[in-house]
Amino acid sequence: MAQNNLAEAVPLTAEPQQRPNIERPQRQAQPQVQPAGDPNRQKLPVSKFEKCLLTACGLILAVLMVCVVSAKIAMSNTQHELQSVNNAVTTYTNRNTNDQQQINELQSRSRLDKIAKKQGLSLQNDRIRNVNK
């Protein structure tokens, strides 16, 4: 590696060698920066346009919040109605199934034969005719 000329030669003596005082240039007086919490700091004025813009954005935000809440309430009511309708459909389906089963039991051949025998009727197959349209 190449060495630059900025390195100092250090003597091998045990006594530490003092460096000569290097003069530093004096700083010019700079204006002091005031901290952020300083009460003397001037605030920028808010323009009328900014005030109107903030007010409009606030109103739009409030309207959107009300719309979200009302939409959630409407969705909850609709879900409740849907659940009620589903319960009614299930009830009617069960009733229809029960009624259909009862009709099939009342139309059964064995039941009809039993009622016919109670009434003194008999079934004669030679007198039965099938009529087709």
pLDDT in tens, 70-113: 999 999 999 999 999 999 999 999 999 999 999 999 988 888 88
For residue 33, pLDDT beyond 60: no
Cα angle 82, 87, 88; round to 5: 95
pTM of the model: 0.47
Within a 13 Å sphere around the CA of 11, how many CA atoms are in the beta-carbon half? 7
Residue 25: pLDDT band (50, 70, 90) is low
Q: How far apart are CA 57 and CA 51, in angstroms?
A: 10
Which residues are within 8 A (CB) of 113 and not within 5 positions of it... i.e. 6 or more apart?
123
Contacts of 25 (CB under 8 A, 6+ apart): none
Specify the 3-state DSSP secondary structure of 1: coil
Token output for 44: 């920028």
**Cα 98 to Cα 10, 33, 56, 121, distances in angstroms:** 111, 91, 63, 30
